[in-house]
Amino acid sequence: AQSVSQHNHHVILSEAASLELGCNYSYGGTVNLFWYVQYPGQHLQLLLKYFSGDPLVKGIKGFEAEFIKSKFSFNLRKPSVQWSDTAEYFCAVGDSGTYKYIFGTGTRLKVLA
């Protein structure tokens, strides 16, 4: 069955700390991977996406993610977080044809000023 796992449910960091959020997927078809962010009180917006090619993808606001096929992972990273990165982050795998997503359970990140 298709699934996405995010093992870190809550993460607390101080400003300037480095961030890595884990995402593992189980999917039998062509892998299309996404990270979305939901800032407090706002709707979800796309951070970055991976379809093929260079496994290191860069997104908005200094975020990047690395696709490691052998580990079925697509971890999100940021070298130095800011207070404004406080949000909930969702990893998703997309189904070719319908473009529907399967989301992970999300990781709540709190950045302390």
Partner 1 sequence: NAGVTQTPKFRVLKTGQSMTLLCAQDMNHEYMYWYRQDPGMGLRLIHYSVGEGTTAKGEVPDGYNVSRLKKQNFLLGLESAAPSQTSVYFCASSTAWTQYFGPGTRLLVL
**Site residues for partner 1 per CB under 8 A:** 6, 9, 32, 34, 42-46, 49, 51, 90, 94, 98-106
Q: What φ, ψ does residue 41 adopt, rounded to 5°?
A: 75, 5
Q: Give the shortest CB-9-to-partner 1 separation in angstroms.
A: 7
Q: State the nearest-atom distance from the C-beta of 16 to partner 1, in Å.
A: 28
Nearest approach, Cβ of 104 to partner 1 (angstroms)?
6
Count of CB atoms situated within 10 Å of the CB of 9 = 9
Q: What are phi and psi of 37, to 5 degrees?
A: -130, 145
| Torsion sign (Cα): 51, 107, 87, 76 | negative
Cα(80)–Cα(94) distance, integer angstroms: 28
Task: Report the residue number, 5 or 73, with the smaller CB distance to partner 1.
Answer: 5
Taking the least distance from each CB to partner 1, the nearer of 87 and 104 is: 104
Q: Which is nearer to partner 1, 45 or 84 (CB)?
A: 45
